[in-house]
Amino acid sequence: MKKIIGLTGEIGSGKDTFCGYVKENYKNVFVLRFSDALTDVLKIFFDSVKREDQQWLSPLLKQRFGEDILVRALTKKANSIGDGIIILNGVRAGAEAKAIRDAGGKIVYVTADQKTRWERVKTRGEKADDDVPFEKFLELEKAETEIQISKIGKQADYKLENNGSKEDFYKEIKKAIDLL
């Protein structure tokens, strides 16, 4: 049986932690990121990828090829996967959430306080521009690619608050996976 989960959440909310926990604790888990296609394109030209560059590229692709271009790429990959849990990480647009639901998937919203998320992002070093002042972090959250996240979150099938310990978050993730 195939279980599709569209994962949405603000920068630093815990989406990757969610994916890591599920991969470690469940069988046949496949994680596909919306940003993978953007990262692949940018890596052709640059050695390191910045969030700001991904935020610039995404609307251009959507304008040229349609609002659902990234989710079409991911669902194409997902359809080639057999049974298991397929997590589509990084839902950032209504068209993406709709496509996931149309495919029988559920939306999970992971969120946390702004200061907590900023502190996590500063220390993780995932993107070349992660270590930024709080004011710059707030500016990045206002990008076109980020502004729909809370709206999608309000319509999610499951919401996880990630302000406590990792152990508490893991318990919440388990509840979500078991319910979905």
Domains of the chain and CATH, by start: 2-179 (3.40.50.300)
Residues above pLDDT 90, as percent of the chain: 64
**Predicted local confidence at residue 34, as pLDDT:** 86
Q: Mean pLDDT, to the nearest integer, of 79-90?
A: 92
C-alpha 75/C-alpha 83 separation (Å) is 14
DSSP assigned state of 112: -
* Greatest mean pLDDT range, 103-107, 127-131, 137-141: 103-107
This prediction has a pTM of: 0.86
- Mean pLDDT (the chain) is 91
Q: How does residue 35 score in pLDDT terms, banded at 50, 70 and 90? A: confident
Q: Within the chain, how many helices (H) and strands (E) appear? A: 9, 5
Q: Is the dihedral of CA 31, 32, 38, 43 positive or negative?
A: positive
Q: Mean pLDDT, to the nearest integer, of 19-26?
A: 97
Q: Mean pLDDT, to the nearest integer, of 105-119?
A: 95
Task: Inform me whether the pLDDT recorded for 9 exceeds 70.
Answer: yes
**Predicted local confidence at residue 129, as pLDDT:** 65
CA end-to-end span of the chain, whole Å? Answer: 13
Q: Which of 13-17, 55-59, 123-127 has the lowest mean pLDDT?
A: 123-127
**Predicted local confidence at residue 128, as pLDDT:** 66
**Predicted local confidence at residue 30, as pLDDT:** 96
3-class DSSP state of 89:
strand
